[in-house]
Amino acid sequence: MTAKVLDGKAASAEIKRELSERVKALGEKGVTPGIATVLVGADPASQLYVGMKHKQSEAIGMNSIQRELPADATQEDVEALIDELNADPACHGYIVQLPLPKHLDTDRVLERIDPAKDADGLHPTNLGRLVLNVNGPIDTPLPCTPRGVIELLLRNDYDLKGKHVVVVGRGVTIGRSIGLILTRREINATVTQVHTGTVDMGQYLRQADVIVASAGVKHLITAEDVKPGAAILDVGVTRETDPETGKDKIYGDVHPDAAEVAGYLSPNPGGVGPMTVALLMTNVIEAAERAAGAAE
């Protein structure tokens, strides 16, 4: 068996085409969705990531707002900028690019974001609302990487209802938050969470219909851990310097041999990464639609 590749680039391109139409519809109401980024310092990887987000958002007609502060910016400087974006009607959603310089209190910064403008969907208020809301429609931003994982499966006609999903990892970006969405009645999956402290992780992995790998441990999951035909979404990232080229190389949590056993595979890189950016833009456009609806 060779796994069917879940192509995040193709699925994200489809989402962006749909978002472009929604941006046009908002434009007819006199609204241009505004997405902003806050970058503190000049980390090359962060600059590249932020630049990619703005390039893609501008391509579908969004208003791109880039705000930068020097690496020695004070806590007060950063919080003042957050307050400015919270009050700016042209900004419908934004992110603070992480990591922040070590002298800043990251939690204080993130909690200062207006929950309605939380493009990442990870504000404590929005996570709390997700915890409380199992049945009803969601009208708050959702965590964009978990949302990207689920959307990638759905757009490949994978029905998650009744499936057993094993989530590997306990970080807030994916591991701790994806189960909240998967167990909503509209998705109706069963979730088991394991992590690097789990004894005999393989016994749980081999029961899984779907594995979401987000531990950040290179090739943690091998072919012998995978039930034949299972769907695997590799979201973990390990960076190592290639001794021959001196350049960083990215590895996922899933060993390449797992593709011979799995039924579906979202590789890393090239799988969920593009989906995260597409769903980030989706969060902002949905916020703009809510704001436009409230103004009518």
Q: Which residues carry a binding-site annotation for NADP(+)? A: 169-171, 237
Burial class for 185, CB neighbours closer than 10 Å (0-12, 13-18, 19+): exposed
One of 16, 53, 117, 227 is an active-site residue; which one? 53
Q: How far apart are CA 123 and CA 112, in angstroms?
A: 9
One of 16, 117, 118, 120 is an active-site residue; which one? 120
For residue 234, indicate whether it is catalytic: no
Pairing of strands 34-40, 93-96: parallel
Q: Please give the annotated binding residues, written as ranges.
A: 169-171, 237
For residue 120, indicate whether it is catalytic: yes
- Sequence-separated (6 or more) residues with CB below 8 Å from residue 168: 175, 194, 195, 201, 205, 211, 212, 213, 214, 215, 220, 221, 236, 253
Q: How far apart are CA 42 and CA 189, in angstroms?
A: 41
Burial class for 36, CB neighbours closer than 10 Å (0-12, 13-18, 19+): buried
For residue 97, indicate whether it is catalytic: yes
Q: What is the DSSP string of 44-88?
A: HHHHHHHHHHHHHHHHTTPEEEEEEE-TT--HHHHHHHHHHHHH-
Q: How far apart are CA 200 and CA 266, in angstroms?
A: 24
One of 56, 97, 209, 253 is an active-site residue; which one? 97
Looking at the annotation, which residues are catalytic?
53, 97, 120
